[in-house]
Structures are given as structure tokens and as C-alpha cells.
Amino acid sequence: MMNLINSHEQDDLTVISFNINNLDASNADAFRKQVRPTLEKSKKIAIDMSSLQFVDSSGLGALLSCLRFCNEQDGNLVLFGLQRTVTALFELMRMHRVFNLFDSIDEIVGATS
């Protein structure tokens, strides 16, 4: 199976980035499986959305399940670097009220320090 994500530590954050352009029905389950070990070991997670040009309802569902898992573990999950098309979808689906969205990793580090 293709590695859909990478992760690295930055300050006290775990940053997850995508190796794909779309998060959709074709890969949402694989993403969920690959991201789970990172969610289990980290409390502060930032997902870099900058490479994603498209997210469908399955992709949104996968991101929501990540958020739910983090909340249950008393962790924190934020998203940053959303492209305009993905931001528009998040606003349409009211997801901008569910997720904490940031423009950049620097903005997150400033907000959490």
C-alpha cells in the first residue's frame, strides 16, 4: 500500500503531511489506518493540508474521525495550509466551525506557545 502521509516533530507538535493530491473515497480508509498510530502517540497534531487539491465527503469523514479520536484522548488536532477550493468546501459544510484552521505552521506555533 502506498504511503499516503509523512509525519515529523516540530517544537512540541507532530506535523502530518500528505503525499497525495486528493483525500476521497478511494483513499480515505487507507489514510485513517495510516494516521492512527501517529494519533495514538501524539497529543498535539497539526495536519498540513497544502498538497490537497480536493477533499470529498469520505475525506471529510476521515478527518472528522481523526479529530474525534484526538478529542477523546484529550489531544488537540488542527489543520493548516488549506487551498482555496478545500477552504470553500469546509465553509460550505460548516467544517470551519468544527476544526481549528490556520494559514501556516508558524501561526499555530504562535497560537500554542
**Where are the domains positioned within the chain?**
13-112
In this structure, are residues 51 and 70 in contact, taking their beta carbons and an 8 Å threshold?
A: no
Q: What is the pLDDT of residue 32?
A: 97
**How confident is the model at residue 63, as a pLDDT?**
98
Whole-model pTM? Answer: 0.94
Per-residue confidence (pLDDT) for residue 93, from 0 to 100:
93
pLDDT of residue 113: 56
Q: What is the structure's pLDDT at 86? A: 97
Name the CATH superfamily housing domain 13-112: STAS domain (3.30.750.24)
- Kindly state the cell numbers that stand for 72: 477523546
- Locus of grid cell 500500500: 1
Per-residue model confidence (pLDDT) at position 17:
98
Hey, is 106 helix, strand or coil?
helix
The pLDDT value recorded for residue 100 is 96
Q: What's the pLDDT score for residue 110?
A: 77
- What are the residue ranges in the chain where pLDDT is below 50? none
Helices (H), 1-113: 28-41, 57-72, 84-92, 105-112
Q: Taking the CA atoms of 83, 9, 20 and 90 in sequence, report the sign of the dihedral they define.
A: negative
Tell me, what's the pLDDT at 112? 60
Residue 75 has a CB neighbour count (10 Å cut-off) of: 17
